[in-house]
Structure 1
């Protein structure tokens, strides 16, 4: 491969560029493939095809990960800007976003509704100001067939045949607490050190206790001084220093007053967009769907 390219001869493929962008941000092909919901070989072929197309080596392998070359670093800023612009291009092509109007209801968990959807709403106001967005914040599974919502953000693929679904990424959750609480608790090196800890629980706490026990944390109902039916309340209790709470890593690690407990102990789960099949014939619903599909992978990504 040579080190210079003739931009006049380049026919740029956005799918390859997106593969490069996510691989660079995730640091490995396997993590990028999970984020994009595709197989690792397919993603690897797209990255290789982009390198061949541009005549550049974009990555070097270091251990099990990938790091950008100088050429890759230079390309990164341009491709990231393309990614931001792609949201607007995609929406404009999907039904005249600026002219679209009407009501669209999106249901998501309370924590996603309060953490992620404000950023989606802000972008929607810019690209499709005629659309009214209703956020149905609930941890219950809403029935899309009965139009309790137009689009759902779920952590499991739906089985209903009348629904369509797209996996937009993977999220990771972990345990968090305030520095003051951790100082009172003492050193935590492995799950056994949490035997004397207290946790914020949930309404259906038996399943949570069983999940913690499977992770080697020997808890009983006595370890839960507070139960919350709302995950948003759960998180605020943890932020107040009451006990250890759980949250998505993207939220927990951007909250200044919280610290992750046992960095190697986490849990991953898929994130799906779900809608009724009429999505294909409803411009306003499709606009919101495409905006979610474009923005959620980056919003969910754990900060470095």
Structure 2
């Protein structure tokens, strides 16, 4: 058969693929931003077109049939191809108008990106920016974002990256809180201080223990995995937290809590997909971030 004579609706295949991955029509409809009846009609149309049942309807949702399982890998290959085509086409545009999505941690998105994006908008008002706030690594190949600010070097061969700087994080607290605990100048002086843990692994406690702080669970009355919220707690005098000194040092509501504490170094990388790096619009945004975050 000549493949050029075959007609195929990618929207129907995408409806099948996302429904299979999400496990229900309702979840797939949310992911694709479609109504559930519209998505259901697309799946049914594909079943009619192929002449096979792809799903079994159960009381708890949908289950792939044997035919559905057999065709799922082919649908995934089509999805990968569609994403690759979209990325390659995105990379050919020279227009300085349109959207660019930037993925960044809550701390960077809250405190470092706004002035950079304001300058970018003043220079290129046709570029619209979506800020994707996530402390996890966004999947650039799946277009969860176009550019990502990361603290780890990417390993995927289809990504390109530029190291911007080695950042440092320090301990901070509100001046009134430091007055209340007597402004200690050595680790043992913090025996009764409150700290705000940053994750469920006890990372801050481990960092402090490595520098001679003998602290127990009572020293960590709060745990907050959102750095922007943690920072507001610090500013309100609820305890001591750790953050990038490019955010902490300029903030008049806080000061360094332990000047003797050796800062924790971490890298800052700017990452994008190799195909869309050829886009003029993306290059302008990428360069603005290099200048603003790397200065």
TM-score greater than 0.5 by the shorter chain? yes
**1:120 has 2:113 as partner:** no
Q: Look up the match of 1:291.
A: 288
After superposition, residues 153-302 of structure 1 pair within 5 angstroms as 153-265=149-261, 266-298=263-295
CA distance in 1, matches of 2:197, 2:265: 19
Structure 1, unaligned stretches of length 5 or more?
1-94, 299-304
Which stretch shifts more, 185-194 or 146-155? 185-194
CA distance in 2, matches of 1:131, 1:239: 34
CA distance in 2, matches of 1:272, 1:202: 21
Question: Any runs of at least 4 consecutive aligned residues in structure 1 with deviations exceeding 6 A, and if so which?
Answer: none
CA distance in 1, matches of 2:191, 2:229: 24
CA distance in 1, matches of 2:160, 2:128: 22
Number of residues paired by the alignment?
203
Aligned-pair CA distance for 1:96:
11
CA distance in 2, matches of 1:253, 1:210: 23
The C-alpha deviation readout for 1:3-46, integer Å capped at 9, x for no partner, is: xxxxxxxxxxxxxxxxxxxxxxxxxxxxxxxxxxxxxxxxxxxx
CA radius of gyration, larger in: 2
Aligned-pair CA distance for 1:192:
2.4
Aligned-pair CA distance for 1:296:
1.3
The C-alpha deviation readout for 1:254-280, integer Å capped at 9, x for no partner, is: 111211012232112111101110133
Aligned-pair CA distance for 1:224:
1.1
TM-score after normalising by structure 2: 0.65
- Check the 8 A contact 1:209/1:221 in 2, yes or no: no
Aligned-pair CA distance for 1:164:
0.6
Aligned-pair CA distance for 1:110:
0.5
- Check the 8 A contact 2:170/2:244 in 1, yes or no: yes
TM-score after normalising by structure 1: 0.63
Q: Look up the match of 2:105.
A: 109
Secondary structure of the structure 1 residue equivalent to 2:156: coil
